[in-house]
Amino acid sequence: MDEAGNRRDLISDINVTPLVDVMLVLLVIFMVTAPMMMHGVKVDLPRTESKSIKTEKDPLVLSITKKKHIFIEDYKVDLGALKEKLKKIFANRAEKEIFLQADKEVSYGFVIKVMAQVKEAGIIKVGMITEPLHK
Domains along the chain? 3-36 (no CATH), 47-132 (3.30.420.270)
Between the alpha carbon of residue 103 and those of residues 42, 70, 71, 110, the distances in Å are 9, 11, 12, 11
Contact 69, 114 (CB under 8 A): no
* Chain segment 100-129, per-residue pLDDT in tens: 999 889 998 999 999 999 999 988 888 888
Instruction: For residue range 33-49, list pLDDT tens digits in order.
Output: 776 665 555 666 666 66
Average pLDDT over the chain, rounded to an integer = 80
Is the model's pLDDT at 58 over the cut of 90? no
Mean pLDDT calculated for residue range 80-88: 91
